[in-house]
Amino acid sequence: MSTNIQQVIAAEQNPALRTIGEKIMNRQRITPEDGLLLFEKAGLPFVGALANFVRERLHGDTTYFNRNFHIEPTNVCVFACSFCSYSRLYAHREEGWELTTDQMLNIVKGYDGKPVTEVHIVGGVHPKLTLEFFADLLRKIKAHRPELHIKGFTPVELDYMFRKAKMSVEDGMKYLHEAGLDSLPGGGAEIFAPEVREKICADKVDAIGWLKIHETAHQLGMHSNATMLYGHIEEFRHRIDHMERLRQLQDKTGGFNTFIPLKFRNKENDMSNVPESGVIEDMRMYAIARLYMDNFPHLKAYWPMLGRHNAQLTLSFGVNDIDGTIDDSTKIYSMAGSEEQNPAMTTAQLVTLIKQAKRKPVERDTLYKVIHDYSNMDVNQIDVNPQMN
Ligand code: V47
Ligand code: SF4
């Protein structure tokens, strides 16, 4: 493996890129300037080979997925992010949806007897859905199925809930954690740089607020993920600034599990005039993320956003996780024009997708504990065993 990567580095014409390649090979951290140079000058074969080298050094061929479903309590939202195809303003709430606690509990009960390990709860910011409402929901889900991991709420939702309840971030996070919240998903981060944020999501929690909520969760012993919405009006330097802020917080807390670059999709939103990135740029984004985020154990390609075939391709460009079965329980990405209009994959389909990429499919829980290694299992065996679907 190392001989190949040495050959790739030696064959690179640009001496500055060769120096970056050597740093990566020698486990040295690359700087923001190095990251910018990779975005500006490096071809996909170069960053791709390096990212694959790092991925295999960390995880070999292991590629994780999980069995999960989403609950989207509402798409009514007080904010008006211009990239969002999913939300409806409070003034037009009759066009949106708003689930009751019983309806959400019934969704959870619909998975009784099925081997899901995680529920992902995220939605719009509805002014009437309070901290107390969500704490009650968490308690009821845990009372029904204590072992189900609840990954829920972005800092956008949390910041609004805490402020309305007049609670500090510390007290609010502690309260929800005690009610049953296990970890935080990565959403709401978008692009941290204020000059971009004010154009695409001016009124919601800023970078400092987002990072503070994740830091507080980490201090409570909770884990979380981080995302970056890329491929719209941001410049490469904004991507580096975003990743650098996350890398610094991770140095401090070690609480992030996964970094998830999210490709901007441009259907039915106020940024439909902005073209979507192409596949080469997508793969370069994943590869450079793997090289830059050296203290993030995992890099995830979220298949409902990227489409399953491009998600499969990312497995050669640094990615070691493709998220879960989903079971057609999320609308954020289909409404934004993803090719996955009804995102759902069986365990057998996920295993096949990973095996086709010549990787080793491993089911994980939210915290990356191995649940089952499918590398030596025939996919037909999965279908006949209902416990595995
Ligand atoms: O913050 C909204 C993004 C995010 C669009 O932690 C869009 O495991 C592209 O964060 N085009 C929420 N992206 C989803 C999210 C997430 C998803 C899956 C797994 C995890 C995890 C987290 O969705 C938002 C925003 O960045 N988003 N609209 C759009 N048009
Ligand atoms: Fe609301 Fe989230 Fe959509 Fe922004 S991205 S409008 S905060 S649902």
- Using DSSP, state whether 17 is helix, strand or coil: helix
Q: What is the mean pLDDT of residues 44-51?
A: 98
Say whether both 197 and 242 belong to one domain. yes
229 shares its domain with 313 = yes
Q: Give me the pLDDT at residue 3, please.
A: 58
Q: Which of 56, 72, 101 is the last residue of a domain?
A: 56
Do 42 and 78 belong together in one domain?
no
Residue 253 lies in a domain: yes
Query: Has residue 7 been placed in a domain?
Result: yes
Of 96, 49, 48, which is closest to residue 74 (Cα–Cα)? 96
Q: Are 49 and 74 in the same domain?
A: no
d(CA 334, CA 170) in angstroms, rounded, equals 35
Same domain, 240 and 185: yes
What confidence tens digit (pLDDT) does each residue in 260-312 have? 999 999 999 999 999 999 999 999 999 999 999 999 999 999 998 999 999 99
- Residue 367: the pLDDT is 97
Is there a single domain that holds both residue 69 and residue 37? no
Asked whether the predicted pLDDT for residue 329 surpasses 80, the reply is yes
Query: DSSP labels for 65-100?
Result: EE-EEEE--B-EES---TT-SS-EEGGGGGGS-B--
Would residue 315 be called left, alpha or beta, if left means φ above 0 and alpha means ψ between -120 and 50 degrees?
alpha
327 is a domain residue: yes
187 and 137 co-located in one domain: yes
In tens, the pLDDT along 233-252 reads 999 999 999 999 999 999 99
Taking CB atoms and a 6 Å cutoff, what residues make up the pocket around ligand 1? 83-85, 185-188, 190, 225, 227, 229, 260, 262, 264-265, 269, 302, 305, 323, 332, 336
pLDDT > 70 fraction of the chain, expressed in percent and rounded: 97
pLDDT mean across residues, the chain: 95
Same domain, 349 and 233: yes
Q: How many domains does the chain have?
A: 2
Where among 32, 56, 80 does a domain terminate? 56
| One domain, residues 36 and 67 | no
Q: Is the CB of 156 under 6 A from ligand 2?
A: yes
Tens digits of residue pLDDT in 147-158? 999 999 999 999
Are the C-beta atoms of 298 and 257 separated by less than 8 Å? Answer: yes
Which of 79-118 are b and which e, b meaning 16 or more Cβ less than 10 Å from the residue's Cβ?
A: bebebbbbbbeeeebeebeebeeeebbebbeebeeeebbb
Residue 286's pLDDT is: 98
For residue 195, being part of any structural domain is answered with yes
- Same domain assignment for residues 41 and 100: no
Span 21-35, average pLDDT: 98
Residue 388 — pLDDT band, cuts 50, 70, 90? Answer: very low
Ligand 2 touching residue 87 (CB < 6 A): yes
pTM: 0.96
One domain, residues 3 and 88: no
> Within this chain, do residues 148 and 52 fall inside the same structural domain, yes or no?
no
Tens-digit pLDDT profile for residues 103-125: 999 999 999 999 999 999 999 99
Q: Show which of 28, 56, 84 is a domain's final residue.
A: 56
| Residue 387 pLDDT exceeds 60 | no
Task: Say what the pLDDT of residue 383 is.
Answer: 54
ipTM above 0.90, yes or no: yes
Strand partners, 65: 363
Q: How far are the Cα atoms of 159, 162, 209, 222, 269 from residue 168, in angstroms, in the given order?
A: 9, 7, 12, 17, 33
Residue 174 lies in a domain: yes
pLDDT computed for residue 246 by the predictor: 98
pLDDT digits (tens, 9 = 90+) for 61-102: 999 999 999 999 999 999 999 999 999 998 899 999 999 999
Long-range contacts of 102-105 (CB under 8 A, 24+ apart): 104/71, 104/73, 104/137, 104/141, 105/137, 105/140, 105/141, 105/144
| Domain containing residue 51 | 1-56
Q: Is residue 389 part of a domain?
A: no
The Å distance, Cα 215 to ligand 2 centre, comes to: 22
Residue 157 maps to a domain = yes
Sort strands 370-373 and 360-364 into parallel, antiparallel or unpaired.
antiparallel
**CA distances (Å), origin 111, targets 104, 115, 290:** 12, 8, 34
Mean pLDDT of 213-218: 98
In a domain, 29, yes or no: yes
Which of 76, 88, 125, 335 most suits a substitution to test ligand 2, by most atoms within 8 Å of the C-beta?
Answer: 125
CATH of the domain at 223: 3.20.20.70
Residue 332 Cα to ligand 2 midpoint, Å, equals 10
Instruction: Pull the structure tokens for residue 384.
Output: 């006949």
The pLDDT value given to residue 381: 74
